[in-house]
Amino acid sequence: MLLSSRQLKTFLAVVEHGSITAAARALHVTQPTVSMQLKEMGDVVGLPLYEVTGKKLHLTAAGKELEATATQLMQEWERFHQAIAAQKGLTAGRLRLAVVSTAKYFTPRLLGDFCRMHPDVEISLEVLNRDGVIQRLRDNVDDLYIMSKPPADIDAAVHAFLPNPLVLIAPLAHPLVDRAKVALADLHMERFVLREKGSGTRLSADAYFSRSNFVPRIRLEMGSNESLKQAVAGGLGLSVVSSHALGPDIAGQGLAVLDVDGFPLTSNWYTVHLRGKQLSPLAVAFMQYLNQFAAKA
């Protein structure tokens, strides 16, 4: 059974984009070309690789096996190219990262500096909620993952590289803004606007509230830091956010950080990958760069 690397790349593009049309557009080929390659692959395998129901493409059991195998083969081939480049004294190739949504506030700057040091590097960056990043980690899709709450139920290698203080914010005109050392109990009548359950920020906040025997009166749960900040500025409640999500001009956003006992909550940003995964030379170089960045921060 022989399938070409071109066919495997086409198949993975269809899986990634969820449709033949979108894959053809991403690969800059015609839709019939992609359809023909899929048919040829199905003929070689001897089983259907996918089915379409309700205009959605779903992999069959054989298709899922091919996806896993093709992903591993492509990763090994990329690692080989990077290893050869490293032997030549070069850092080149593609670095695949998946990060949780809050990390988008600092990741582009990290990547910009890294790419200036290594101009031949290509970056593939996925920004998702925590559940989405963890699923990609389970499937071993990317080189590295960046999050603030690594999963406890996955055997993963975890490396802290940057502090992630979580602060409690309020509208700029809130009466507690200029008050020092506010007790958490003094907030028992306040309403809260918090990140969705399962996010790293929410997990840390809930853990602290539970340890402190404090039950926040939750008005809204939101999946976006930007929407959350707008809700707080609009007077809908207080919130707990990463300081990285605030930027330098907090007052300009109509927000203020409250001086509340226990805050900022201690947290970190971590790089995560499956334990035992053979990292590409480029991924190793990026982790070394992060350690140097953290030492200067």
- Residues 60-81 pLDDT 10s: 888 898 888 888 888 887 777 7
CA–CA separation, 82 and 28 (whole Å): 25
Strand partners, 127: 99
Below-50 pLDDT ranges, the chain: none
- Domains (ranges, CATH) in the chain? 5-64 (1.10.10.10), 91-163+269-296 (3.40.190.10), 166-266 (3.40.190.10)
Query: Apex CA 59: angle with CA 57 and CA 15, to 5°?
Result: 70
pLDDT at 251: 92
CA–CA separation, 246 and 257 (whole Å): 10
Pairing state between β 191-195 and 156-163:
unpaired
pLDDT at 8: 86
pLDDT at 85: 66
Q: How many helices (H) and strands (E) does the chain have?
A: 9, 12
CA–CA separation, 285 and 120 (whole Å): 13
| DSSP state for residue 260 in the 8-state scheme | B
Q: Give the count of alpha carbons within 13 A of 281, CB side only.
A: 19
3-state secondary structure of 155: coil
CA–CA separation, 128 and 141 (whole Å): 14
CA–CA separation, 27 and 122 (whole Å): 17
